[in-house]
Amino acid sequence: MPQAYVPAAISRQPWSVLLPLIALVAFGAAVLYSAAGGRFGIWSATHLMRFAVFLVMAMVLARVPQTLFRRMAIPVYVALCLLLVLVELIGGIGGGSQRWLNLGFMTLQPSELMKPGIVLVLAWFYSVLPVGEVQGWRSVAPAAILLGIPAGLVMLQPDLGTGLAITFGAIVVMFLAGLPLKWFLSAGAAALIVAPLAFFTLLHDYQRKRVLVFLDPESDPLGSGYHITQSKIAIGSGGFFGKGFGNGSQSHLNYLPESHTDFVFATMAEEWGMLGGLFVLLVFGLIFRWGLKVANNAPDRFSRLLAAGMTMTIFFYMCINLMMVMGLAPVVGIPLPWMSHGGSSMMTNMICVGTIMAVERWSRAGPRGLS
């Protein structure tokens, strides 16, 4: 958007992300309205309300100066780790796995907040790491510890999806921080060897079953494979133009499970067809392009890593969710940003967006003032 020729109060707003976001959330609300059987109050209203609340939060976040971000990186990280331990303890007492804390007015999933949290703390770490150390072990060992603690705690819950998301965010930051490429290549090779071992030893039975069923959904058409099969039926039966708004039989007759949360894309694709799907992909593409552009224009190492890491965290959400609903990945329970109904993921994603908006502000402020 040509910011220079529009009144300042308006042009100062980051429209290139707000417009796609509003489009996506509005579309999501429409899909939720249909999934609720034509009732607005059930899911759409809370969806829009949450977006409004978290948008304000993101705007506030965008005004936070970089120094505060830097100063808060470690305290936030420690606080989140403590919360994770707390959750683990409460779960242990309550008997069974618990992932959230009940704060009275909302339930808080510390593991959700850890996704942007890990990006923040690693971005800070690499910004303070002396440039010369990047090639040495000092650049990777502390990062591995910073990642290992929360990732381990989350996997213990057990929540494989979130654990992977945290790990992914961390690795992206390390990659962008300029660590030697051969480390990533050898780590990738090692993962290829360890993954099968982990599959048989570390994963819980139900997780292993999900992976197996993903490889052959028909083997368990009424159990775990049911989700994938029904999701593919919903998407496939929609065709190019869809069955029409409010006409999705898969979601309306409850054949599609989780039609308003994890499988909201299938609900959408059934009614809006491939056209709707391409629209969603396009909008996400705009958001990611904005995020990476902000990262590339960022004034310093910290904000660069921060913006790119946040962008990739959102990307990971979208990528895993869409691959899951289309039968390209196992069912892991990751919602689709801004379309799925759910407070935690909306909050996480808006924190990511708010952080990127903050970086955008710093880079605009940068040339004018001192860095």
**Contact footprint for another protein (CB under 8 A):** 131-132, 134-135, 172, 175-178, 180-182, 230, 232-240, 249-250, 253-255, 269-270, 273-274, 277-278, 281, 284-285, 288-289, 292, 295-296, 301, 304-305, 308, 311-312, 315, 319, 322-323, 326-328
Report in angstroms how near the CB of residue 62 gets to another protein at its nearest.
21
Contact yes or no for 20/287 (Cβ under 8 A)? yes
Question: Which residue number, 212 or 326, has a Cβ lying nearer to another protein?
Answer: 326
As a whole number of angstroms, the distance between CA 19 and CA 5 comes to: 18
- The C-alpha angle 325, 33, 317, rounded to 5 degrees, equals 35
Closest Cα to residue 251, out of 36, 43, 27? 36
Question: Least Å distance between CB 255 and another protein?
Answer: 5
| Minimum distance from residue 232 beta carbon to another protein (Å) | 6
**Closest separation in Å from C-beta 43 to another protein:** 18
DSSP letters spanning 299-316? SSHHHHHHHHHHHHHHHH
Which is it for the CA torsion 193, 196, 199, 201, positive or negative? negative
Contacting residues for 100 by C-beta, under 8 A, at least 6 apart: 87, 107, 108, 109, 344
**Nearer Cβ to another protein, position 208 or 232?**
232
CB nearer another protein, residue 97 or residue 237: 237
* CA-wise closest residue to 297 among 282, 318, 316, 311: 311
Place of tokens 């993101």: 58
Of residues 199 and 241, the one with the C-beta less far from another protein? 241
Q: How far is the CB of 222 from another protein (least distance, A)?
A: 11
**How far apart are CB 254 and another protein at their closest, in Å?**
4
306 vs 287: CA distance, rounded Å: 16
- The two three-digit tokens of residue 189, written as one number: 């090779």
CA distance 22 to 316: 20
Minimal distance in Å, beta carbon 55 to another protein? 24
Q: Which two tokens stand for residue 145?
A: 């510890």
Q: Which is nearer to another protein, 80 or 359 (CB)?
A: 359
- The Cα–Cα gap between 231 and 327 comes to 8
Which is closer to another protein, CB of 325 or CB of 357?
325
Cβ nearer to another protein, comparing 253 with 370: 253
3-state SS track over 38-57 = CCCCCCHHHHHHHHHHHHHH
Closer of 113 and 295 to another protein (Cβ): 295
Per DSSP, 219 falls in state G
The residue (of 67 and 254) whose beta carbon lies closer to another protein is 254
Closest-CA residue to 355 (of 319, 321, 304, 315): 304
From the CB of 175, what's the least distance to another protein, in Å? 6
Q: Tell me the closest approach of the beta carbon of residue 250 to another protein, in angstroms.
A: 6
Mention every residue, 6+ apart, whose C-beta is less than 8 A from residue 19: none
